[in-house]
Amino acid sequence: MATPKVTKPPTRANFVIDPSKITGILTHRRVRAGEEYLILHRTTGPASAEVASWHTVPELRRCLYLVQEYLDTLPPRSEDHRSLLGAQSRKRKSPHDELSANGTPNGFQSPFHTNGIGSPSPSPSSSSSSSSETGPRVFNGSLSKRAGFLLAQRSSRHGTPVNATRLPTPAMLEAALKTATPESERAIRDAFVEKLKSLRGVTLENDVDSSTPSLNFTFIKEYVLREGVSAQDPSMFEGCTKCKPDMGQNVGCEYTQKCGCLEYAAVDEQALQSRNPEMYEEYLRVKENQGFQRPDLPKRFPYTKPSIGDTVPQRLVTYYRDHRHAVYECNDNCACGPRCKSRLVQKGRRVPLIIFKTPDRGWAVKCGIALQQGQFIDTYLGEVITSEETDRREENAGQEKASYLYSLDKFVGDPVPGEGTVLTSDDCYVIDGQHWGNVTRFINHSCDPNCRQYTVSYDKNNILLYNLAFFAYTDIPAGTELTFDYMDKDEMEVEDAILYREQILSDPANQDRVRCNCGSVKCRGVMWV
């Protein structure tokens, strides 16, 4: 007779902590089982009686972004250990610092001494094999296993009673100072690499230290529209109707005066002057004041023609690269077909990118292949928010927030189609790429960049929502860091840039501004000027 198979109950290691159920990570240590973190659970009742418990890295796999944020607050272990005790007493007491300052007779001073502390009561969360080595594992309650999670319950009968506002203790901080975290760092790195698998041709390099880009970041493939932001259904985009797929050597649109998508595109002034001198004179008279747009004017296609087999990349033509005029692409409602030469950015990134760590400028991006001048790299993505929401987020964040906010203000002052008004800066949407975005979020600033951002639209009548696309401004060798100007200023000569920097740095109003670290000879000295 066969022996019946015994199914073992799942161990605690098979359960995880729900990040929405905790208020923070207090400290860390190493035991025989590996690295552990002391977390404070989100429960009802007085702060002094909050449940706290130690957990392994596998149990915190849903909370690795919180572990990472905790580790980022710690000073380097090479510093004097007293700096950690001093800093932590101010920065990381607990989420209830105002209560811990008052103290209570039940305040817990050390997890390794039982003076004034009851012995751990039996509970589903206690580990008898490790309690003698590490002291109590759960304070002020117990943990239960439910639906794959470890959940905390307050209890006066279970767990070790402690004043939670006194955690972490000096002894815990002393131990944390001496404890390296290679297991956590590997888990954090693996989690980020797993995120990158959703992207084609993006890898991670770090030859500088053991850090990893923030896990509190979601890679997306299109804009995420937030409250107050609307987008027109692509099926409603106006497309060109007079063009055909077999025109222009089977690459779609061939004649700019027939392509309806180029209605607002850059006028080819040289062609206009040679073909119709009278209209050219009229065009010159009115373009500076109120613009001059007619569908039948000769325009400019934005890109070079695609090569046979796409062996040579399409590039942004010189006029658009230098003049920064908005680029209008065809769309799915056009008659020109999917091979049209005016469809490039909408097809997405085609070059391999590498996120890498620099010694002095944080994370950066480089390309695994050489880029030609005018070659498309990628777009800037993120949450699209209103001007009001932007003000709220900036108020709640520090100066670094500005690095991720980009206003879609290319058409400020232009008439809003169908409304009889002009677009103001308050009407403009803003892209916030801090927590939602793509690889371009990691591109660093330079006052003398090798990339530039350009307005690219697939819907010519929408002046509120369009793409910000990065193109190589120069030929860029493989492995060279990609940079762009966060302020999107026009290119300056070296002498003018040096004079400008001297003026900026001598102005007392700029003394508290964030210093620029781009290292360029054209560096302006500070950011956001």
Quote the pLDDT of residue 41.
97
Q: Average pLDDT in the 493-509 region?
A: 85
| Structural domain contains residue 70 | yes
- In sequence order, the 6+-apart residues with CB closer than 8 A to the CB of 53 are 38, 39, 41, 125, 137, 138, 139, 143, 152, 159
Domain's final residue, options 143, 171, 196? 196
Confidence band for 338, pLDDT divided at 50, 70 and 90: very high
| Structural domain contains residue 496 | yes
Cβ(125)–Cβ(16) under 8 Å? no
pLDDT in tens, 126-149: 333 344 355 789 999 999 999 999
Q: Which of 504, 507, 494 is nearest to 525 (CA)?
A: 504
Length of the chain in terms of residues written: 529
Surface-to-core class of residue 219, CB atoms within 10 Å of its CB (0-12 exposed, 13-18 middle, 19+ buried): middle
Q: Average pLDDT in the 276-286 region?
A: 85
| Structural domain contains residue 158 | yes
| Structural domain contains residue 55 | yes
| Structural domain contains residue 389 | no
Domain's final residue, options 196, 222, 247? 196
pLDDT in tens, 225-274: 999 999 999 999 999 999 999 887 788 999 998 999 999 998 998 999 99
Rounded CA-CA distance 262/253 in Å is 10
Average pLDDT over all residues of the chain: 85
pLDDT in tens, 169-202: 999 999 999 999 999 999 999 999 999 999 999 9
| Structural domain contains residue 95 | yes
Quote the pLDDT of residue 274.
92
Other C-beta atoms within 10 Å of 424: how many? 12
**β-bridge partners, 257:** none
Confidence band for 98, pLDDT divided at 50, 70 and 90: very low
| Structural domain contains residue 96 | yes
- Residue range(s) defining the domain that contains residue 75: 12-196
Domain's final residue, options 196, 211, 246? 196
**For the whole prediction, is pTM greater than 0.85?**
no
Active site residues: 380, 486
Q: Is the pLDDT of residue 88 over 50?
A: no
Q: Higher pLDDT residue, 289 or 315?
A: 315
Specify the number of domains making up the chain: 2
Q: Is the peptide bond before 4 cis (omega within 30 degrees of 0)?
A: no
Quote the pLDDT of residue 419.
82
Q: Is the pLDDT of residue 493 over 90?
A: no
Q: Is the pLDDT of residue 288 over 70?
A: no
Quote the pLDDT of residue 490.
82
Quote the pLDDT of residue 167.
95
Q: Average pLDDT in the 371-391 region?
A: 97
Confidence band for 121, pLDDT divided at 50, 70 and 90: very low
Bridge-based pairing of strands 430-432 and 383-385 is antiparallel
pLDDT in tens, 7-45: 554 556 689 999 999 999 999 999 998 999 999 999 988
pLDDT over 70 for what percent of the chain?
A: 84
| Structural domain contains residue 383 | no
Rounded CA-CA distance 138/131 in Å is 10
Q: Which of 344, 313, 320, 316 is nearest to 331 (CA)?
A: 344
Q: Is the pLDDT of residue 78 over 60?
A: no
Bridge-based pairing of strands 224-225 and 383-385 is parallel
- In sequence order, the 6+-apart residues with CB closer than 8 A to the CB of 517 are 360, 361
